Amino acid sequence: MFKNCLENVRKTVPLVHNITNYVTVNDVANVLLACGGSPIMSDEAEDVEDITSVCGGLNINIGTLHKTSIEGMFRAGKKANELGHPVLLDPVGAGASALRTNTALDLMRELDLAVIRGNISEIKTLALGSGTTKGVDADVADAVTEENLDEAVEFVKRFAKETGSIIAVTGAIDLVSDGEKCYVIRNGRPEMGKITGTGCQLSGMMTAYVTANPENRLEAAAAAVCVMGLAGETGWSRMQEGDGNATYRNRIIDAIYNMTGEDLEKGADYEIS
The string of DSSP letters for 232-261 reads HHHHHHT--TT--HHHHHHHHHHHHHH--H
pLDDT average, residue stretch 105-113: 97
52: left (phi over 0), alpha (psi -120 to 50) or beta: alpha
How far apart CA 230 and CA 227 sit, in angstroms, is: 5
Domain-by-domain residue ranges, the chain? 2-272
How far apart CA 73 and CA 62 sit, in angstroms, is: 9
pLDDT average, residue stretch 179-195: 96
How far apart CA 253 and CA 261 sit, in angstroms, is: 16
Q: Tell me, what's the pLDDT at 133?
A: 54
How far apart CA 24 and CA 63 sit, in angstroms, is: 9
How far apart CA 50 and CA 45 sit, in angstroms, is: 10
Is residue 132 predicted with pLDDT exceeding 80? no
How far apart CA 211 and CA 222 sit, in angstroms, is: 13
pLDDT band at 140; cut points 50, 70, 90:
very low
User: Do the bridges between strand 115-118 and strand 166-169 make them parallel or antiparallel, or are there none, so unpaired?
Assistant: parallel
* 72 C-beta neighbours (distance < 10 Å), count: 23
| CA neighbor of 126 nearest in space, from 84, 146, 155 | 155
pTM of the model: 0.95
Is residue 139 predicted with pLDDT exceeding 50? yes
Is residue 137 predicted with pLDDT exceeding 60? no
How far apart CA 255 and CA 235 sit, in angstroms, is: 6
Q: Which residues of 226-257 are buried (b: 16+ CB within 10 A; e: fewer)?
A: bbbbbbbbbbbeeeeeeeeeeebbebbbebbe
How far apart CA 231 and CA 189 sit, in angstroms, is: 9
pLDDT average, residue stretch 182-189: 98
Q: Tell me, what's the pLDDT at 129?
A: 72
User: Fold for domain 2-272?
Assistant: UDP-N-acetylmuramoyl-L-alanine:D-glutamate ligase (3.40.1190)
Q: Tell me, what's the pLDDT at 50?
A: 98
What are the angstrom distances between the C-alpha of 106 and each of 27, 94, 111, 185, 216? 27, 12, 8, 29, 27
pLDDT band at 128; cut points 50, 70, 90:
confident
State pLDDT tens for residues 4-39.
999 999 999 999 999 999 999 999 999 999 999 999
Is residue 239 predicted with pLDDT exceeding 70? yes
Q: Coil, helix or strand for 134? A: strand
Q: Is pLDDT larger for residue 133 or for residue 238?
A: 238
pLDDT band at 273; cut points 50, 70, 90:
very high
User: Do the bridges between strand 270-272 and strand 182-185 make them parallel or antiparallel, or are there none, so unpaired?
Assistant: antiparallel
Query: What percent of the chain is modeled with pLDDT above 90?
Result: 94
Considering the chain, what is the average pLDDT of its residues? 94
State pLDDT tens for residues 49-68.
999 999 999 999 999 999 99
